[in-house]
Structure 1
């Protein structure tokens, strides 16, 4: 009996192994947040100002460099055999936002992903090689920087969000901490959405062993963290999440889905296998919100959202999602709502479609709510009345100018003959 059970398990394992072997990885997209950095700014009463940081505000720290070297090494080990051991410019494309910290994070990551060997070693004492990282000026960034403020409808949605019961409840619950921050920091404007910046500054300082003011207690930091996370939820959810996603993270999701669909079709000429995107916590949160996978917490430094595209021997394709937000464990598989972990590509495209806009510029326009039609009708009626009044007035004037004795038949004078010299 035991032997039979063992034989059955071995048979099942063999079948499962053969089934797994039929699935081939063909394309990967990774989006990650930059690594540890200095604060983006200091509050007015902050004892630690920009001069206290080696490279100033918003810059990648050496810890951030190590975090991305570690992530790059993880990616090298995970995709060993899929990517070549040595860098091949045809296999990978790297894009970053135009910030020092994201550009440097991508470069540190690539140092772990592609340590040079053989002919790629250009200096024996340097285990590193230059690999291109592409970017566009921040003023032209349309793909990796969120939330984008070039959308009136999104700004209207944010204003409406501030009037929701959930938002008002959080504001009321944490009114004391918001007031404390206003009094202690010297900031003129503090609210649920902006107080996160104070938490960010204090968090960065604590990670780099800088002393905190007396008012910054563990309880205060805990409350600020809650508000900070809620600020992320407000940007991409809480109220009309799907519409917000269509105007924000859905832009990036649409590009990723388009690339997955393109790469699913066998093409012997296609050499690209790996797309690397280096961006920010808000970018990761916006993308995950458009997938209905955002956990409501700020993505940590060097957190990485992974899309893996597989193709079966029969030609069908599937997508697997993974999230690495803890370097001490394997990445977490993510379950796209409505689909299996190994989601068929056609289902993945169908389920994500409602969160992707076909015409974002048009959807960003403010809805008229019928007011434009009312205005047009009012103007048209007013114009008609004005024309009628003018016609009546001219008629009265002409009638008054006619001689009383000639209001019947009268002779029409030839103007050329009657003109005075």
Structure 2
């Protein structure tokens, strides 16, 4: 919905594009990918919200809901005092750092925001081929605030502030007079102000594309499934083959055991004592 709202503002219909004079809008495709590809305070939050299990990982959703309601100028519940809201914000901020950073931040960044960063890097490289992409002016990704945090964590530029509605992380590609390319980053989180510049650690605000790629390379996964230890189809095939072999061996052992038992039962009886009168005695 956010992507569609942004595109409606970027591309108002004109001329033959106007299909209804009362609607200043035209349909624009939005591409997505399948989905397949402190305890006492927390207890109070659980009691007030009705949530069964409030943890550091889930408390951010409570604050996020209140943040959205406050942004829409809705009345907050009576239990949400300024102090409670501030404590929730601190827990949410720490929860984000816990999820995306602190321990093994670089490794987490590779497996989280590094995936999106990899797409952005590849598109920047493609855009340098001016002859092949002369009509390409803008690539836009519409996502959640958590996606934005993950990306900025991967770039090591996260400022630990809740991203408001319509926040935007901008990557601008420039071709310099000498023919080389440079990248500038900005973050817009307030409509009434110009976006403020972001500087990639280890580079200047205007960072050469080559240096930008070098500095961000550690934050990009080379083989996401392997690094996440996600079972691949190859591993699944090996598992099925292994199970089939073990099953076949077990079946052969059972057949062999049954064969031995059958032969033992079919053999003629051994020595038996016979009495003088010809009757067999056990």
TM-score range (shorter-chain normalised) is 0.7 to 0.9
Q: What SS is found at the alignment partner of 1:278?
A: coil
Name the structure 2 match of 1:180.
44
1:110 matched to 2:7: yes
1:1-22 CA-to-partner distances (Å, cap 9, x unmatched) read: xxxxxxxxxxxxxxxxxxxxxx
Aligned residues: 230
Following the alignment from structure 1 to structure 2, what is the Cα–Cα distance between the partners of residues 123 and 210? 34
1:358 is aligned, of 212, 222, 226, to: 222
In structure 2, the residue matched to 1:392 is none
Q: Does 1:220 align with 2:84?
A: yes
SS at structure 1 position matched to 2:36: helix
> Counterpart of 1:229?
93
**Are positions 1:122 and 2:19 aligned together?**
yes
Question: Any stretches of 5+ residues in structure 2 without a counterpart?
Answer: 231-282
- For residue 345 of structure 1, what is the aligned residue in structure 2? 209
* Worse overlay, 260-269 or 309-318: 260-269
The residue that corresponds to 2:187 in the other structure is 323
Partner of 1:3: none
For 2:74 and 2:206, locate their aligned partners in 1 and report how far apart those are by CA, in whole Å.
Answer: 45
262 and 269 in structure 1: CA distance in 2 versus 1, 3 angstrom threshold: closer
Name the CA shift for 1:208/1:303 in 2 (closer, same or farther; >3 Å).
Answer: closer
Question: 2:127·2:133 contact (CA, 8 Å) conserved in 1?
Answer: no
Q: Distance in 1 between matches of 2:181 and 2:121?
A: 13
Task: Give the number of the structure with larger relative contact order, counting CA–CA contacts within 8 Å between residues 6 or more apart.
Answer: 1
Q: 1:336 to 1:307 in 2, by over 3 A?
A: same
Please say if residues 182 and 206 of structure 2, whose CA atoms lie closer than 8 Å, have aligned partners that are also in contact.
yes
Deviation at 1:116, TM superposition (A): 2.0
Q: Distance in 2 between matches of 1:218 and 1:108?
A: 32
Q: Under a length normalisation based on structure 1, what TM-score does the superposition of the two structures give?
A: 0.52
| Structure 2 partner of 1:334 | 198
Deviation of 1:208 after TM superposition, in Å, equals 4.3
- Residue deviations 1:327-371, cap 9 Å, x none? 0100111011111111000000000001111111111129xxxxx
CA 1:209/1:352 → structure 2, altered by over 3 Å: closer, same or farther?
A: closer
- RMSD of equivalent CA atoms: 1.9
Q: Residues 324 and 332 of structure 1 are in contact (CA less than 8 Å); yes or no, is this contact kept in structure 2? A: yes
Q: TM-score, normalised by structure 2?
A: 0.76
Q: 2:30 aligns with which of 127, 133, 148?
A: 133
| 8 A contact 2:113–2:151 mirrored in 1 | yes
Secondary structure of the corresponding residue to residue 285 of structure 1 = helix
Where do 1:45-194 residues align within 5 Å?
A: 104-140=1-37, 174-194=38-58
- Provide, for residues 254-289 of structure 1, a one-character-per-residue CA deviation record: whole Å limited to 9, x for no partner: 111111112113325642221111110111111111
Unmatched runs of 5 consecutive residues or more in structure 1:
1-103, 141-173, 367-421
Structure 1: distance between partners of 2:145 and 2:93 = 11
| Secondary structure class of the residue paired with 1:250 | helix
